[in-house]
Amino acid sequence: MGQPGRALRLSCRDVSISFERAGSRVEALRGVSFESRPNEFLTIVGPSGCGKTTLLRTLAGLIAPDHGAVERLGDTSGDGQRILLVRQENSLFPWMSVLDNATFGLEVRGVPAAERRRLALPILSRFGLAGREHDYPHQLSLGMKQRVAVAASFLGDPGMLLMDEPFAALDCQTRLLLQQELLETWEQDQRSVIFVTHDVDEAILLSDRVLVLSRQPGSIVSEIPIHFPRPRSANSMLMPEFLSLKRRIYQELGMVPTALEVTA
Amino acid sequence: MKPFAESPFRTIAWRLWLPTAILALWEILAAQGLLNALFFPAPSRLARFAWHMVLDGELPSALSATFSRMFFGSAIGIAAGLITGLAMGILTPVRKSLEPLISGLNSTPKLAIMPMLLIFTGVGETARLVPIALTSFIVVAVNAVDAVRNINQAYIELAHNYGARGWLLLRRVYIPASLPHVFTGLRLALGRGLVITISVELLGSADGLGSLIWMAWQTFATERLYVGVASTALTGALVHEALHLSERRLLPWRQRAGAA
């Protein structure tokens, strides 16, 4: 899993997208260009409604850009070219058990049931889902559901993982737990991830690099490398370095924080 | 909002008190001679009569004839309806081609074609089975089309995201996602299937509950008439309950409101 040679990269060149909404043209993205690196955790952060989800769906190939192009670089043969998208909700099939949901990517590739189970159990238990593998989604809390979705995305072993605010709907304690579980899983099993969020803490905690997207129409206003030592944990969020990165991103977002927020 | 669970005893009590009261009133009025015994025989008398019909094998054979006719006819219709409905739901050209036919058939009373069938196939079981099969075919097909078309697109997108295609996509996504709605169709199909089975038997059949009822009317045997009608109602209720149980068994993933 996650061999550097087969990691997929995405190159986004001058992508612009607009929509027809209530009779008028709404520009969602304007001239977005960037390139991801192999096995990089790249986060796109921006205010709500800035076109983050649109950008991610474009990267996933679900939306065609009006202008510009998205290109897949690296090993684009076989399974390595697959891109998996994890969404905020509806990332699980209600009629499949936790185990079946988590291993659906393997099932599609024809992996036999016993093997799927063998591969899934360690990852499920890392996400605190041991003993829940036969439950159905309606028996799980929102946090548990997102754990299954994230576990499923790692088990699917795609060349690229796209995550669209997977933790946005969670309460802040559950969110913190899931961020740490994701952090641990990714640090042990590095792979190419493009993560979208409006949560600045989350962006810094998880990423190798942060792209800041402006308000509508979304365009990249700055690129901030996060040279924060790994392994990271919730403790990292209390370091002065972390806070200065946070201040910088807040400034880039044009929401200059009050003194209280910076020192809190 | 989930209220505290009602005890099963209370649930049953709520369901039974009114029918029991009506039967009791009826029994009392009959015993007092206030009801014409020819039209309204006392329930106790009807129960004894029904028991005799069970013992001499008349009722069981009528029931089994009706049951097997309904199930055989409906099974053909349901199988064809499921395949047609799923195909129509998934493949737009199939839907566009078949829609006019289906809605035409839907508005045709199935019983009305029976005389035509009698001309084509003669008086026999085929003429009785075709209207039953057609009835369930239409109901199941229409509901299956709706079921597929109402699948949350997010699940289809999710499946495509994993790269699911062909048979796997059908088996793991389209079919399970449409099952809850399909079950509504099955319930309607069997409900209407029973109605049409009885109607077909009333129109002309040597066996079954419908024929029993018809013969009772011809001979003015009121007791038999009552027993026949009550057996039909009971059959309908049993079919409904059986389907309800199998739905809970086959769709364990459905979120059930209220007490589990």
Report whether pLDDT(B260) > 50: no
For domain B57-250, the CATH class is mainly alpha
- Is residue A138 less than 8 Å (CB to CB) from chain B? yes
- Scan residues 227-256 of B and list those with Cβ closer than 8 Å to A: 251-255
Please report the DSSP string for A171-206 in residue order. -HHHHHHHHHHHHHHHHHS---EEEEES-HHHHHHH
B156-164 mean pLDDT: 90
Nearest to B164 among A62, A94, A108 (CB): A108
Q: How confident is the model at residue B20 (pLDDT cuts 50, 70, 90)?
A: very high
Calculate mean pLDDT across residues B48-52. Answer: 94
Mean pLDDT computed over A132-141: 93
Residue in the structure block whose two tokens are 């459905």:
B254
User: What are the φ/ψ torsions at residue A260 (nearest 5 degrees)?
Assistant: -60, -45
A159 lies within 8 A of chain B by CB: no
With contacts defined as CB-CB under 8 Å, which chain B residues touch A107?
Answer: 168, 172
Mean pLDDT of A69-91: 80
Rounded Cα gap, residues A189 and B106, in angstroms: 57
The yes-or-no verdict on residue B74 having pLDDT over 80 is yes
Instruction: Name the residue facing A108 among B168, B177, B179 (closest C-beta).
Output: B168
What's residue B64's pLDDT? 93
Domain ranges within chain B, ordered by starting residue = 57-250
Task: Write down all domains in chain A, each with its CATH number in brackets.
Answer: 4-82+162-263 (3.40.50.300), 92-157 (no CATH)
Residue-level pLDDT at B258:
36
Residue with the larger pLDDT of the pair B82 and B2: B82
* Side-by-side strand order, sheet with A24-35: A24-35, A8-21, A67-74
- Assign B89 a pLDDT band (cuts: 50, 70, 90): very high
Tokens of B4: 């505290």
Mean pLDDT of the B205-216 span: 90
Does the beta-carbon distance from A60 to B161 stay under 8 Å?
yes
Q: How confident is the model at residue B4 (pLDDT cuts 50, 70, 90)?
A: low
| Choice among A186-195, B2-11, B69-78, B226-235 with the minimum mean pLDDT | B2-11
Query: Complex ipTM above 0.85?
Result: no
Contact check, Cβ <8 Å, A84/B254: no
Q: What is the pLDDT of residue B259?
A: 33
Percent of chain B with pLDDT over 70: 96
Beta partners for A77? none
Residue pair B130/B105 in contact by the 8 Å Cβ criterion: no
In chain A, pLDDT over 70 holds for what percent of residues?
A: 92
- State the pairing for strand pair A193-197/A8-21: unpaired
Shortest CA distance from B157: residue in chain A: A62
Residue-wise DSSP of B113-128: GHHHHHHHH-SSHHHH
β pairing state of A160-164 and A193-197: parallel
What pTM was estimated for this model as a whole?
A: 0.80
pLDDT at B111: 86
Residue A4 has what pLDDT? Answer: 47
